[in-house]
Amino acid sequence: MKDYISDMLTRIRNGQKANLNEILLFWPTPNFCIKLLTIFQKEGFIRGFKKITINEKIYILVLLKYTELQNPIIRKIERISKPGKRVYISSKNLWKLNNGKGVLILSTPKGLVTDTQSRISNLGGELICYIE
């Protein structure tokens, strides 16, 4: 079994440390990762992503984002719930975790949501990752 989410987050983290403008994710990339990238784009952590073909192989090109001084927008990105240890939380306990810094991403019965959307909808779920 391969952990596609950890692989994607590590590639993004390493790409930001190396000041790369874009990174490639191998296909097949699960829809779950595509939905995570969509949230990252909506929250302003990446410029975007698209599906490309190079030498008859399909990849997902992720466009990383930097400040005007070329500092990475993403300061910290880490996986919370892992295949060997799942972490679940109720919407009431989200207040204690986040403290207003960064964005927690949860998998709820209504799909992937940020901590803010989870509090508004009063939904708990599995903590997927944290991005700041």
Q: Distance (Å, rounded) from C-alpha 69 to C-alpha 89? A: 37
Q: 63 with 84, same domain?
A: no
Residue 98 is predicted with a pLDDT of 63
The residue segments making up the domain with residue 116 are 80-132
Q: Which residue in 92, 89, 86 sits closest to 125, CA to CA?
A: 89
Residue 94 is predicted with a pLDDT of 81
What DSSP designation does 1 have?
-
Query: Given 73, 91, 116, which residue is the final one in a domain?
Result: 73
Residue 97 is predicted with a pLDDT of 65
Tokens read off for 62: 């992720």
What CATH number has the domain bearing residue 130? 3.30.1490.10
Residue 93 is predicted with a pLDDT of 85
pTM: 0.90
Count of structural domains, the chain: 2
- Which stretches in the chain have pLDDT values below 50? none
- Cβ(63)–Cβ(47) below 8 Å: yes
